[in-house]
Structure 1
């Protein structure tokens, strides 16, 4: 693609095949590194911060604000995730990445030099604003700068970045914390942001035919406010513990989401493409398929706790147990990204939720006190299987969203909406997980079993949604 003018040429064709060689060929290597690097930066930051926070609080105080470090980041991410398509339309891929990386890098610097917890939270907010754009840009830019036959490969690589983040983040955070240098970890994130921004200058086009042919629409203020408030309510619910307040906040969040749907159906300025929530819409079922699978992934937040309390694992071993779900997700996404035949694609979309349900149910059935090494080994295997179900299914649903319309603006908006749907689902999933763990207590075994079986049921729900989506005429026709 040409970088000499403000408008790129036709979408690049990087070879005659559709394998990994094309994805890392000369024409595609630069953009792939930018969007994969952006997602890796986001993922590493999530897991790294969790490891660093105890050391940060010990130095600067603010224990009462501990949980808000993740809550503020998530809320800020949701806000900017809803503005991805408008940012791309107005500024183009290159400048959009500069904005995202600039915000993320600035937030990392603020966190690096934070003298108090409120200042650290301000840095986390800036990181979230940049992170929401980074994660959303990956989906939208893949569609804009890659040929369609490489979309699944690109999405598979992007999914793998979460697995990398789940390993690198805790290890890196643990190393910095061990030496009392937690500020250095945030400084490293800022340096990495600058490095990816420099690469984006060479690798990303200033404009593409899609971004240059449209003008930004009005900002969907009402939808933004309702969804942001819903995310705030459910995020607070996830940190207050099992109580009446938690239940009330979740109920308020559900009402706000219903209000968001009503606002989107009324037309005008919208976050998601027009017609998403209308009767007979294909897109709503695609988003639901993504949403339910994203919810199942939030079970991983409690896996290290169960590993230590039930299995007697070390902190490192428990952390690896929690990462096994992400590893399964990443490996399956990469392996399944090469599947293109419609029949095989449909099988993968249905088999994924089945693996999620079977993996989580099997893992939960083995939650017994005094677990032997063999049983603990089976925990890893079954969680890997559950994660594989998420990855193999999502890697086929996402391209379906990206190709939903021939209209470039609508397809770009639909692709960017995937990230918003995932973030909102993660927020609700975290709150639901906390609720189930609280109800299942006070015994840790009861919490583990209720959460595991409860999320196995969510896997069955994902199968029902997938089957319903596949019955739509559009999917039966083109296999996407």
Structure 2
């Protein structure tokens, strides 16, 4: 057996990005990246698009259509893989994404644009889930942590690049070209798939689709997405409550059903997997703060839109940079500590940011905001890649392993949707005072994300019990 140090040395970034694995790594990361970019890309383009094709009344549905479709697709990844194999599944994902992007690019009216966004979301969700599921066969186990770190970093890069690219194209009035550019990127990635992605094994193509689970999670995603745009705090809170009830119904159904989205291990007594998923969800829940940071920066600090938008991406920047380093952590004790530390750092970062908020904030104080938000985001990066590997390694059964890996994308997408809605509720609860609203959001998120330390400790205890 190799020592821990030898394993770490062998599992280097140089090996992952070397000639043998570079192609696979690029496809895995690229699929996650195009999905992440398009979460916020259209938000920057919509004002220009509305001026061109109308449909201002449908403005708020842009994110809803995309996220709902994305969550649905992530839940079907393991079945698409079983039916079509790695290469076929990836070609399908990129093909659907390209078709949706082109539909958006040629949209003559807002309903067509929204339909295109839905198709885009299906492709993006499939690609995001495939990235985590295909890593089983595309990379050796010693590279799983770094592969997961690279892919999850793409969420952070996408959250940064999406608004920036959208704003750039909108600045020149070329909103349609932004979608064309995304279609070209998707087509290029699809072109290299057959040459670099292992085909994998097919089988289980007749596995029944978990219709009831899909309906419940879709309804929960719709409810929570609508909650984020409903007028009034009471209506928004009611939307979130309905979504939580639907998620509860989903869990109850999955526990007793033979047609599951999550692997059977999730619901086994004493299993660590459910705690791993909860911790991932609580970490990515915090990403939703980024949607509102630009608003706080403009209203409280008087920053111009471009600068405020860049500040809003500080959480994702911290997430992306930190996990590229945290992936090098070796040894069970170090990894367990990072999984608990991550949610605490995220929560403390939001708490500190809330304490730094001021009306008419001076320039020097605004400069402090950026590193504080980067530190907050670093909490996600500390834990996310290790939690992803924990989910992938939760079972020795290959089919369940792919299902467990694909579910990481489902949890991430669903948590971002929930976080956005809850942030909207907290924002409205502050009333006319932007300072109060901003503090409600940041302090509220600090409390929620801190719970992740508790779930991470539970995951560590269960995992320790399983190995004894």
Please state which band the TM-score falls in when normalised by the shorter chain: over 0.9
Pick aligned residue for 1:302 from 268, 292, 309: 292
Any conservation in 1 of the 2:169–2:177 contact (CA below 8 Å)?
yes
Pick aligned residue for 1:94 from 87, 91, 98: 87
Can you list the C-alpha shifts for 1:221-264, whole angstroms capped at 9, x where unaligned?
11111111111111111111334332322222122111111110
Q: Distance in 2 between matches of 1:476 and 1:225?
A: 33
Query: What residue is the counterpart of 1:109 in the other structure?
Result: 102
Any conservation in 2 of the 1:293–1:353 contact (CA below 8 Å)?
yes
Q: Distance in 2 between matches of 1:280 and 1:475?
A: 8
| Residue correspondence of structure 1 range 6-405 to structure 2 within 5 A | 17-206=10-199, 208=200, 211-212=201-202, 214-405=204-395
Normalising by structure 1, what TM-score? 0.93
Q: Distance in 1 between matches of 2:318 and 2:32?
A: 18
Q: Distance in 2 between matches of 1:360 and 1:135?
A: 27
1:39: Cα distance to partner? Answer: 1.4
Secondary structure at the counterpart of residue 276 of structure 1: helix
Q: Give the structure with the higher percent helix.
A: 2
What stretches of structure 2 of length at least 5 have no aligned partner? Answer: 1-6
Pick aligned residue for 2:415 from 425, 447, 454: 425
Secondary structure at the counterpart of residue 258 of structure 2: coil
Q: Distance in 2 between matches of 1:421 and 1:266?
A: 20
1:86: Cα distance to partner? Answer: 0.8
1:468 and 2:458 matched? yes
Q: Distance in 1 between matches of 2:63 and 2:54?
A: 16
Any conservation in 2 of the 1:469–1:475 contact (CA below 8 Å)?
no
Q: Distance in 1 between matches of 2:312 and 2:346?
A: 15
1:408 and 2:398 matched? yes
Q: Distance in 1 between matches of 2:329 and 2:165?
A: 34
Q: Distance in 2 between matches of 1:438 and 1:33?
A: 41
Q: How many residues align?
A: 462
Any conservation in 2 of the 1:89–1:214 contact (CA below 8 Å)?
yes
What stretches of structure 1 of length at least 5 have no aligned partner? Answer: 1-13
Any conservation in 2 of the 1:81–1:133 contact (CA below 8 Å)?
yes
Q: Distance in 1 between matches of 2:380 and 2:176?
A: 34
Secondary structure at the counterpart of residue 10 of structure 2: coil
Distance 1:55 1:149, change over 3 A: same
1:26: Cα distance to partner? Answer: 1.8
Can you list the C-alpha shifts for 1:91-117, whole angstroms capped at 9, x where unaligned?
111110111111110011111110000
